[in-house]
Structure 1
Amino acid sequence: MKTEVRGNGASISLQNPSFFNTPQNSIAGALKGCLGSLDGACIEKLLLHCASALENHDVTLAQQVMWVLNNVASSVGDTNQRLTSWFLRALISRASRVCPTAMNFNGGSMSQRRLMTVTELAGYVDLIPWHRFGFCVSNSAIFKAVEGCTKVHILDFSITHCMQWPTLIDALAKRPEGPPSLRITVPSCRPQVPPLLNVTKEEVGHRLAKFAKFRDVPFEFHVKDDPYLSNEPFDVQFESLLTQLTRSELDLREDEALVINCQNWLRYLSDETKGNIAHGFSLRGAFLDIIKGLNPRVTVVVDEDSDLSAPSLSSRITTCFNYLWIPFDALETFLPKDSSQRLEYESDVGHKIENIIGFEGFQRIERLESGAKLSQRMQNAGFFRLPFCEDTISEVKSLLDEHASGWGMKREEDTVVLTWKGHNSVFATAWATTELED
């Protein structure tokens, strides 16, 4: 007899999960104290039990725990049920590779995401302040850093298709001394992660140029492209891009204020030595060294505030489950369970879960590190913290007033952190290449 377990479009045929057939293979330990109420703590315990079974190649026990998780999971249930459904899918995906002869996996790749229109992307970004927080803090810090400058050049490393720039263009247009001329340069390569857009970077630049012209802001938009590598993996393309991040290749000008903007970007740069990177540097370390050498007026780094880079699967499951609960819980507060907008957003979070839990080595592209670890990395690379001014804090507070009451903000040293019900979710930092004088 076989039991078919399903996890959001994926299915896996399992041998009959006869519980408690032998003491060593029973799941009694995993369920102890959980019967009658499978809350978040109990679900986490089951997930860890399944991970341990997979690491020990105990197929029977892994199948049994998946069967229990399948009875908890629901893509249209409560927060824990919905989150469990994506963890189950990630474990199924992992199991199909760990035990390919014992498990028959049938599930479409979650990387095949729907392409959004620009209007849909705007709604996606506005849904919860996950992205808008970073835009708000970054734009405010950039605006302050380029005060009095007549020419500004932004190198934009971001996964959100330049969605933050109309707000900055509008703010620059209102400067009492008049707007500066603005250049934005973006890389042609981008990790294949949600959200995905149905227009090219050149079209995005064209739309920004039209808006800048409407606001009387002199504007240029450039894409750093390497057509010979367009079909290569992201890390290969980005390693090539590093050779183009020079003053001459970027056409940096002495009279321009240079700004580096990193929004949810560093986590996709491998922290392991690979390829032709000189002197044993990782891709992440090499990137930071190169941008520091460009001597920008300000470097802004925004990312999710959690450490998901641990080599231990159990550690990643614990951290991931307790961290990615946040967007699921936040969406629960204002969208119905069957909302297509909610399901799509959760699916994109699920894409992240599958990569964090289902893959190892260079196949695992989600290598997020906490704000504290990132700050230490920046300091080790020779950057110096820049404090955020009170105007920035006021703008963030105004932004959060537009969203559910569970969202908040706190300051940790010179880092600003977005919180949900007191839990850290996104951090924002600003950096200079020389130490500020007292």
Structure 2
Amino acid sequence: MDPTLDYISRYLLEEEIDELNINSYKDEAALQDIEKPFYEILGQKYPPAPNEQLLTSNKSDLSSSSSSTSTTSNNNMLAESLPVMEYCRGIEEGMKFLPNINKLVANFKENIVSADPSEVKYANSARFKFAEKDDLGMMFPSRSKKYTSDKDLDILEGRNSKISMIDSEEPVGDDVYDEALLDCGDHRLKGEIWSLRETLQLEASSGVPKKIQGDHHELCTLLIRCSEAVAIYDQQRAQELLNNIRKQSSPSGNGIQRLAYVLADALEARLAGDGREYFRRHIAKLVKSPDIYFLKSHHMLIRAAPFTRVYYCFSNRNILNVARNASKVHIIDLGIKFGFQWPSLIQAISKREGVPPKLRITGIGFPEPGFRPAKRIEGVGQRLLEYARSFNVPFEYKGIASQWESIRIEELTINDDEVVIVNCLFGLREVQDETFAIDSPRDQVLKLIRQIKPQIFIQAEANRSYSSFFLVRFRQVLSTYAAIYDIVDSTIPRKDKDRKLLENVYFVPDIINSIACEGSDLKEKPETLKQWQRRNLRACFEQLPVNPDIVKECKKLVRDGYDDRYFIQEDDNWLLQGWKGRVLAGVTAWKPRLDEGC
């Protein structure tokens, strides 16, 4: 049995035993038999049972005068025994905390029961609510919003109930994972990419409006003005601008209309002071979502854009080159998430001549809310173990759910006879920097990587930076995601269900957090590639040159089937990727310097 469930079961059993023990001390018949002779000796009348006494006292309170009540209460006080007095006093004290039943207000439509009618009224008029489910079963914000209390959020996260939640997630077939994760042939993926492009052409020829430039300029102006009003908490002005944005935005429109829809929600949450809870609710729903949603969004991402495939190709080819003659390979994956990268590496290792090396993967991630913070990380290990067995690759896995700066090298179990690789794709931006702590957690993680002394440290990062000042940060987010939503709108049909899922999994959380939250609630603090380069050099890392063969392979991957507006190039030891001439992200490799000064 799961230790958490075992603990809960014992907890509940202890409560039941305590209740039985308490009741055993209150055998009213035995108590009466013992007390009655003493009352007769004293010449006093035996008092009624506690429940009868309560009914009698309630009636007397309604009918008798204050003087007679005080006299009666004094006589009763002399007559009552100590156990009965304590029992009645406990009930009286407990009743003080219960609302008068006549004042309770119930709203069955909204599923609300409250002693204060204003609470029901507020619940009906509040701004934020979440739709029950869309056609994919995923939770998305609806147009009319309603705030949810912290208690509701705790229920979503599984923290407010002693009853264990049953995992209702449906099993996902191996063929679905294989289709999304394994290298099943370029021809198949090319066919899927061309199918998307043909659907886009049919959508364009069917008369779907494509007025992006005009919408872009007008909506961006409205969004910037609204952010300025929100920054100074001008409620009236901000609400007027939000209403105008709502009229022109749409969750199913073109790229800028979809982006404006999400930004409007985030601005409204910030204006109402509910940004932190709004973001937490979105994350809670993602955490509770089945793995199939993330597989679908990942599969859509690799069909629409080459970015993820290039990162995996760059990383896996470098790992295979470093571990060419190794008998044991240990990969420490910082930010493993769902482990989408590793099935293709396991497949490639199995094709190596001779006996495949023993592969160890230590998957590190941030703890998730709920009773099992490492549930998904542990699930990744089980899935990867199945793949390794199917390809006859010796495999070992360890999952760690913790804040990265608190991890110690002893937890990683580094052995001298293995080739160690550290892999981190877009994970370090979620570690706090020096703006949140004097001793930067980000630098502490880099220090840990140096202590590991890996043969190679592979790092991929987005080429963007968010300011600590809200107005500057809003413009940065708007500019970044305008380009990203333009990519999605140019490569995926608008009516595709997986497009909506892709946006809500990969883009919406960062937008909500960056706009609606502030200070320590900001989850990500990205830096530009130049800023990362300077930080890593200060941390005594040496940047490795990009292998020309890997560059050729990645360029061929981009040319075969993807939109010709994508580009890939090597510059200053970074392999850069972008769209329409704008560099959006890059990947590079490092190794620790062993100089005396380090």
TM-score (norm 2): 0.59
Q: What is the rounded CA distance, in whole Å, between the counterparts of 2:253 and 2:463 in structure 1? A: 26
The answer for the alignment partner of 1:405 in structure 2 is 564
- Secondary structure at the counterpart of residue 403 of structure 1: coil
Q: Which has the higher strand share?
A: 1
The answer for the alignment partner of 2:366 in structure 1 is 189
**Are the counterparts in 2 of residues 11 and 106 from structure 1 also a CA contact under 8 Å?**
no
User: Alignment partner for residue 336 of structure 1, among 471, 493, 505?
Assistant: 493
User: Alignment partner for residue 457 of structure 2, among 299, 303, 307?
Assistant: 299
Instruction: Give deviations 1:386-407, integer Å, cap 9, x for gaps.
Output: 1121221122123222433222
Instruction: Give deviations 1:11-36, integer Å, cap 9, x for gaps.
Output: 469xxxxxxxxxxxxxxxxxxxxxx9
User: Is 1:251 equivalent to 2:251 in the alignment?
Assistant: no
Q: 81-90 vs 331-340, which deviates more?
A: 331-340
The answer for the alignment partner of 1:220 in structure 2 is 396
**Cα distance change, pair 298–92 in 1 and its aligned pair in 2 (3 A):** same
Letter of the structure 2 residue corresponding to residue 409 of structure 1:
I
**Are the counterparts in 2 of residues 150 and 181 from structure 1 also a CA contact under 8 Å?**
yes
By relative contact order (CA 8 Å, sep 6+), the higher-ranking structure is 1
Q: 285-294 vs 202-211, which deviates more?
A: 202-211
The answer for the alignment partner of 1:170 in structure 2 is 347
Q: What is the rounded CA distance, in whole Å, between the counterparts of 1:377 and 1:294 in structure 2? A: 18
Offset, 1:286: 0.8
The answer for the alignment partner of 1:18 in structure 2 is none
User: Is 1:372 equivalent to 2:535 in the alignment?
Assistant: no
The answer for the alignment partner of 1:81 in structure 2 is 257
Q: What is the rounded CA distance, in whole Å, between the counterparts of 2:298 and 2:511 in structure 1? A: 24
**Cα distance change, pair 188–419 in 1 and its aligned pair in 2 (3 A):** closer
Instruction: Give deviations 1:157-186, integer Å, cap 9, x for gaps.
Output: 125411111111222222345532210001
Provide the identity percentage. 25
Offset, 1:124: 4.2
**Cα distance change, pair 326–357 in 1 and its aligned pair in 2 (3 A):** same
The answer for the alignment partner of 2:446 in structure 1 is 288
Q: What is the rounded CA distance, in whole Å, between the counterparts of 1:46 and 1:346 in structure 2? A: 22
Q: What is the rounded CA distance, in whole Å, between the counterparts of 2:216 and 2:362 in structure 1? A: 44
**Are the counterparts in 2 of residues 135 and 164 from structure 1 also a CA contact under 8 Å?**
yes
Instruction: Give deviations 1:182-206, integer Å, cap 9, x for gaps.
Output: 10001253568xxxxx973333222
The answer for the alignment partner of 1:72 in structure 2 is 248
**Are the counterparts in 2 of residues 12 and 92 from structure 1 also a CA contact under 8 Å?**
no
**Cα distance change, pair 201–301 in 1 and its aligned pair in 2 (3 A):** same
Letter of the structure 1 residue corresponding to residue 428 of structure 2:
L
**Are the counterparts in 2 of residues 5 and 66 from structure 1 also a CA contact under 8 Å?**
no
**Cα distance change, pair 10–288 in 1 and its aligned pair in 2 (3 A):** farther
TM-score (norm 1): 0.79
Offset, 1:315: 1.6
Letter of the structure 1 residue corresponding to residue 270 of structure 2:
R
- Secondary structure at the counterpart of residue 404 of structure 1: coil
**Are the counterparts in 2 of residues 298 and 431 from structure 1 also a CA contact under 8 Å?**
yes
The answer for the alignment partner of 1:145 in structure 2 is 322
**Cα distance change, pair 57–64 in 1 and its aligned pair in 2 (3 A):** same
Offset, 1:84: 0.8
Q: What is the rounded CA distance, in whole Å, between the counterparts of 2:241 and 2:435 in structure 1? A: 37
Instruction: Give deviations 1:264-291, integer Å, cap 9, x for gaps.
Output: 111111114768xxxx412111111111
Larger Rg: 2
**Are the counterparts in 1 of residues 310 and 554 from structure 2 also a CA contact under 8 Å?**
yes
The answer for the alignment partner of 1:361 in structure 2 is 519
Q: What is the rounded CA distance, in whole Å, between the counterparts of 2:252 and 2:345 in structure 1? A: 38
**Cα distance change, pair 160–121 in 1 and its aligned pair in 2 (3 A):** farther
**Cα distance change, pair 73–223 in 1 and its aligned pair in 2 (3 A):** same
The answer for the alignment partner of 1:195 in structure 2 is none
**Cα distance change, pair 138–106 in 1 and its aligned pair in 2 (3 A):** closer
Instruction: Give deviations 1:298-326, integer Å, cap 9, x for gaps.
Output: 11111222112x11222212221121123
Q: In the comparison of the two structures, how many residue pairs are matched?
A: 386
The answer for the alignment partner of 2:590 in structure 1 is 431
Offset, 1:126: 2.3
Q: What is the rounded CA distance, in whole Å, between the counterparts of 1:313 and 1:427 in structure 2? A: 26
Q: What is the rounded CA distance, in whole Å, between the counterparts of 1:53 and 1:244 in structure 2? A: 42
The answer for the alignment partner of 2:270 in structure 1 is 94
The answer for the alignment partner of 2:233 in structure 1 is 57
Letter of the structure 1 residue corresponding to residue 579 of structure 2:
W
User: Is 1:9 equivalent to 2:142 in the alignment?
Assistant: yes
**Are the counterparts in 1 of residues 279 and 513 from structure 2 also a CA contact under 8 Å?**
no
Letter of the structure 2 residue corresponding to residue 87 of structure 1:
L
**Cα distance change, pair 361–220 in 1 and its aligned pair in 2 (3 A):** same
**Cα distance change, pair 12–163 in 1 and its aligned pair in 2 (3 A):** closer
- Secondary structure at the counterpart of residue 324 of structure 1: helix
Q: What is the rounded CA distance, in whole Å, between the counterparts of 2:307 and 2:541 in structure 1? A: 26
Offset, 1:434: 2.5
User: Alignment partner for residue 220 of structure 2, among 36, 41, 44?
Assistant: 44
**Are the counterparts in 1 of residues 219 and 245 from structure 2 also a CA contact under 8 Å?**
yes
Offset, 1:78: 1.4
Q: What is the rounded CA distance, in whole Å, between the counterparts of 1:408 and 1:311 in structure 2? A: 31
The answer for the alignment partner of 1:320 in structure 2 is 477
Superposition pairs for residues 231-242 of structure 1, below 5 Å?
237-238=402-403, 242=405
**Unmatched 5+ residue regions in structure 1?**
14-35, 100-104, 193-197, 226-236
**Cα distance change, pair 391–107 in 1 and its aligned pair in 2 (3 A):** closer
Q: What is the rounded CA distance, in whole Å, between the counterparts of 1:58 and 1:224 in structure 2? A: 45
**Are the counterparts in 1 of residues 422 and 458 from structure 2 also a CA contact under 8 Å?**
yes
Letter of the structure 1 residue corresponding to residue 291 of structure 2:
M
Offset, 1:216: 2.9
The answer for the alignment partner of 1:352 in structure 2 is 510
